Structures are given as structure tokens and as C-alpha cells.
Structure 1
């Protein structure tokens, strides 16, 4: 294994796994596997990039750090030459972490300075300029992320956000240095006394420049875009072969589970519900135990073949009202557990195509499916929309798509199920 990724949630893990598997033309990408947590055994021979997906984004800081260091230990044992700490392209974190504390722990473990910090993903509208994170033409703090129910982002200055979460100073590699080329970026990083450096990136070309600059770096941090050019570093040096993603389509029963409250997911839910059977989750019923996973399974089975959807995606006001009544953490944990139980039931009943929306929901569902099928890894298939691939489990008998809340076109759910049946 050449590249090892520590992702702080499952959709983010799928996102960067997709980037590594796809690579850039003409070289292509790496043979990539995604893991549901830290594996207990060795990686399968031939895997060139391994992505360990944790549920550490909103975990207590100490727990997130411990999980990430355990992932680093396993990846190092597999021979990884470069480690990437992958977080969301909207830098999702609380005032205490976990991006800063985890980055700091990994950098100290690997004895690194001038570590790149770059959540940019221009294809999805996330760019970094003058050290500030933008979502399309809006500062992060004005993009809607300030209303996130778990990790509200009210500051777009990445240096300030990261600096508040760590004991380390944070430097900056500005846009003019990036446009000057990889050598200038490399020299700027090498000359830094600071542990971390926020690096501007407003285009894919900038990300490729950064990739060239960090060839050989032990640690890189960022969104999935930071990995855009990393595979070709290994392919050009002859340490990896490169090529195209391998994929075997599958048909069979289908289900869509949406637990994200993002604006993009709400739009996708509205679009899909107008055309297919859809069940809005009665959250108070879930919390008092009158709504169970059996109710969800019954609905999905009764509408098999019609792309049925179950969702808990509410508006910010609706989510706030529920959280005030039942508590934020308690509500999230209860819903995730219910989605996980539903997924286990579906797999046991022979379901082969499952689409999931929402980072926390995806983590719960992915772990449940892997446990049910008794597998550790998910192989990366073709890209449905930017940042969202099809994942194959259990020798491709089960296909899954894990979508971050803000990703995907309006018709994403239909498209995902259709592509799973198609030899693309």
C-alpha cells in the first residue's frame, strides 16, 4: 500500500477514495479500497491506496485522536509512504475540534512541519483564497454551513479556526506562490517554522500544483481535492501501474435512506418524493419507540422496484425544534441506529442496491452492512456525481452509494440506482 487515508467520516472517505481511484488523465488512479473503521487484519495484496473511514468528525476530541492514531498505526504497518488526513471540504468542526487536534496528533507522530491544510474542492464550489474558505461565491460563514446542526461553521478564516483548535502556529501559502508553480510551493512549505500551512487553491490546476509540491511528504491534510494529483506521483515513478476503475454492475432490490439536513439533500428528497414512494420519518415517534426499523423495512418492501425513499431531512427550523425537545446528540444517535438496523434487515432480505445520504447516517449504515456481510473493505467503482462513487462489497454482490449531504445533482437518487445496474 502506497497512500493511506484517515477520513473523519464515511462519505468523506468515499469521496477521497473516488479521487484516488480515478486519478487524472493520462495516468489514471490507484487500486483503492475503503475500510469501515480500522481493520483487524492485513490489507489484501494489490491494494495501492487504503482509506480508513472513521466516525470521528463529531466524536469527543480524545476519542477522535485515539481512533486516528490507531488508523495511522495500521496504515504504517501496511507500508504506506504518504498519509492523508481527510476532512470535509467545508472544514466541519466544532470550536474544540476535531480537525485541529487530529492534525496535530498526526503531525507530531510523523514529526512533520509545513503540513498542507487545504479543503478546496473546486468542482463542488469549495475554494480557498487568502486563507479563507469559500462555497461558490459565498464565504463559508455565509453559505448555510453556519446553520449545520452538529458542526456550525461561523468563521471562514481557516488559519483562525485551526489556530483556535491547536497549540500550533498556522502559516499561509498564498495564491501567487501557488500560481508560480510546484517548486515555489515546496520551497515555501520547507521554509516554514509553523506546523501547518493553509494553502490557497481556486482551481483543479492549483490542486495539481500542490500535489506535485508534496510528492514525498509524509503527511498532507485536506478535502478530497488534495489527492487529485497524488496517484500520478507514484505512477510516474513506476511504483504504481495506474489505470481505470473496475466495476461489475448488479440488479436487485433497492432502497434509499436519507438522514442529511443539508439544502442539497432536501432538494434531492423533494425531487425524488414527487416521483417515487417516500416516507418522512416521524422523529418524535422514533424517540418514544413507537416507530421502529421494522416499519421502515415494511415500507421499503411494499414499494420494491419503485426506488422507495425513507428520509429524516428537515429544515433548519424543524431540526432545531426536534433537538430542543430531545437533545441534539440523542436524536442523531437514535436516528443513526435506526438507519443501521434497517440496513442490516435489508441485507438479510437480499437487498443489493442501497443509496445513503448524510455523513453520520452513511457511517452507521456502512458499518452495519460490513458487519452483516462480514467484510472489511469496499472497492471503489465509477463516479456517480463529483465526489460520490459506487462502492462494491462482498465481491460486488452488494452495491452502496454514500453521499455527503451537500453533494450530488437534484436527481442523484435515481441516477445512483440506475448506474448500479449499468456496465459503465
Structure 2
């Protein structure tokens, strides 16, 4: 294994797995840290954790365990994959995990760049933009678990770590890899690096060939396969036919638009917080309903920020999140028992719950459906799976993904 990735959620793991697979690397996405040795033909191992919103100490422990396993497989470089909108809280978990990984790897200068231009995430003068809006003015300001209300990544990261936080501006990045290397601070630091184009990300990757640790979104992986002299190649895929379903727990504005578009054309059931908390919805009954439909239905708990906040106030944020995730885990397990063949999932936390219900240890990585969203196949299972970050994909993503799973 040449390259190791530690991702703080499941959609982020599949996002960067797609980038590396399209770069020609043989990728496997693991569910948690494996207990056994990796196959000899794996070029990049991507470990999916569910560590974005857990206690920082737990996130650090899980990430270090993943790091040790990747090092034991021979990885020369580790990427800590975070969301392209830098989803986190003042306590972490990006800063604490990055610091712990840096210490474990003996790396005292850590490049941090969550930019993903293809999906409209760019960094300029240390500020993160979502499309043409600063992060703090985007829909991320109302995220139910990690509201992002500061666009300056230097301040965001600085609140999470005792390490000095430096910055390399776009004017330097435009000059290429040598200029980036020359601009690195003399002492220990985490360094926010501007990037607004794919060319910038390739320059950053080239500047970091000797670095043992990188922190960023999937964009930072664009130039990494070149380090290993690997040529770009299209990932392979075996079509999947049979019953399908869309499961959505994301409350992002993009996903709510996708839900609205799909509800108008397909059977659907909304799962309310009240129904879950009062145990008025049965996963087995709902799974029977899904399989009985003539076209793939939608099961969703997505709601607007005001409704989410009201439900959190009534039931408690953590208790509500745990209950809804548990419901999606149980529903997925029930659907698998009924031979579901196509699963399209929206939302990082929901994806983690669905993966738990699939009860698999790894995924093979197929071609893209949209930027940052590949098709996945649980190893040893004839099921096509799509794990979509909330903000990714166009208005008709759900229908397009279900169809794409059936194509070569």
C-alpha cells in the first residue's frame, strides 16, 4: 500500500476514494480500521471513520489506530481527509486529530487545504468560499451539528489547536511547488494554503512529496497519484439491477431541493423526529413497503433548519441524532434481508448509519456519478451503493444515481 487516507466520515471517504481511483490508484474503502492485513494489490487504503462530531479524545484515538494500521501496510504518506467545508466545532475535531497524527508521524509542518474547486469550494486569503459566498454566509451556517459561522480558516483552526497556524496566499501558490516549499514557516505549524484551481492543488501536492501528513478535502488528492508515477484510469464497474431506494437524512439546502424534486415523481415517506423518538415507525414494516413499490421510493428525514432546531430543543440534539441514525441502520439491515440491490444515500451521518446496516468491512470504488460521488460495492455483495455528501449533486441526483448504478 502506497498511500493511506483517514476520513472523518463515510461520504468524505468515498469522495477522496473517487479522486484517487480516477488518478489510476487501486483503492479500497474500509469501514473502520481493519483487523487483518490488506491485500497486496491495494494501492491506496481509505479508512472511513465516523469521527467528525464525536468527542475529540475519541476522534484522536480512532485516528491514531487507523494511522498505525496504514503505516503497517507500508504507507509512505497519510492524508487526513476532512470536509471541503471544514465541518467542525471550536473543540475540534480537525485540529486535535491533525496534531496527534503529526506527532505520531514525526511531522511538525502540516499543510491544510480543504479546497475542492470542482464543487465550488475555494480558499483565498485564508477564507473558505462555497461558490461565490464566504463559508459563514452559505447554508453551512445552519448545519445542525457543525454550524460554520466563521469563514477564516486560520481562526477556525486556531481555536482547535495549540499549534501555530500559518498561511500561504494564492499569489505564492500560483508560482508553483518550489515557491510553496520556500514559503513554509521555519518552525512547527499548521499551514492553511490557498487554492482556487485544480492546478493549485497539483502544485500543493507536488510541494508536499516529502511530507508524511496532509490535511484537506478530496481535492488535495488530485496530484498525489503522480507521486507514484501512476497514470489516470477510469474505475471499473459491474452494473447492478433490482429493487432500489433513496435514504436521505441530510438537511442541507442542496439535499432538500433533491428531496423535493424526487418526491414529485416517486413514492416517498417522511420520517419525522416525533415518529422516531416515540417509536411510531417500524423498520420492518417500512422495508416491506419499499420492496412493494413499482419504482424506487424515497425515505427521508431531511427538514429545514428551523424544524431541525425545534426538534433538537424538544428531544436533545445528541439523543435525536442517535435515534434517527439507529432507525436508518435498522431499516438498511431490513432492506438487505429483502435483497435490496440499489441504495442511494444522502448525508454523512446517514451514510454512516446505512453502512452499519450493511454490515460490511470494505467497499470497492467505481466510477463517478457526480463530483465527489462514486458508485460503491460492498465486498462480496451484489449491491450498488451511493454515499452522497449533503451539498453534492444536482437537483435530479437521486433519479440519475439510481439509473447510473444499472449501467456499465
Q: TM-score normalized by structure 2?
A: 0.98
Note the C-alpha offset of 1:414.
0.7
Does the alignment pair 1:199 with 2:199? no
The alignment's C-alpha RMSD in Å is: 1.2
Q: Deviation string for 1:136-165 (max 9, x for gaps)?
A: 111111112111100011111111111110
String of CA shifts for 1:370-413, please: whole Å, max 9, x gaps.
x2xxx421011010000000001234611100000000111111
In structure 1, what is the equivalent of residue 168 of structure 2? 173
Tell me what 2:265 maps to: 275
How far is 1:368 from its partner?
2.1
Q: Cα offset for 1:296?
A: 2.3
- Spell out the pairing of 1:16-415 with structure 2 (5 A cutoff): 16-23=16-23, 29-189=24-184, 191-235=185-229, 240=230, 243-303=233-293, 305-369=294-358, 371=359, 375-395=360-380, 397-415=382-400
Q: Report which stretch shifted further, 289-298 or 273-282.
A: 289-298
Moved over 4 A (4+): none
Q: Distance in 1 between matches of 2:48 and 2:9?
A: 6
Structure 1 residue aligned with 2:402:
417
CA–CA separation in structure 1 for the residues paired with 2:180 and 2:45: 27
Q: Which runs of 5 or more structure 2 residues have no equivalent in the other structure?
A: none
Unpaired segments of 5 or more residues in structure 1? Answer: 24-28
Shift of 1:244: 2.7
User: Which digits, 9 at most, give the CA deviation of each residue in 1:15-48, with x for residues without a partner?
Assistant: 000111012xxxxx20001011111111122010
Query: d(CA) in 1 for partners of 2:280 and 2:400?
Result: 33
Aligned counterpart, 1:26: none
| 1:170 Cα deviation from its structure 2 partner | 0.6
Measured in 2, the distance between the counterparts of 1:175 and 1:192 equals 20
Deviations along 1:84-108, one digit per CA (max 9) or x if unpaired, are: 0000000000110001100110011
How far did residue 216 of structure 1 move?
Answer: 2.7
Say which SS state the counterpart of residue 310 (structure 2) adopts: helix
What is the CA–CA distance in structure 2 between the aligned matches of 1:31 and 1:93, rounded to whole Å? Answer: 30
| Secondary structure at the counterpart of residue 165 of structure 1 | coil
Measure how far apart 1:302 and its partner are.
2.3
Looking at structure 2, the residues matched to 242 and 383 of structure 1 have their Cα atoms a distance apart, in angstroms, of: 14
Distance across 1 between alignment mates of 2:187 and 2:83: 26
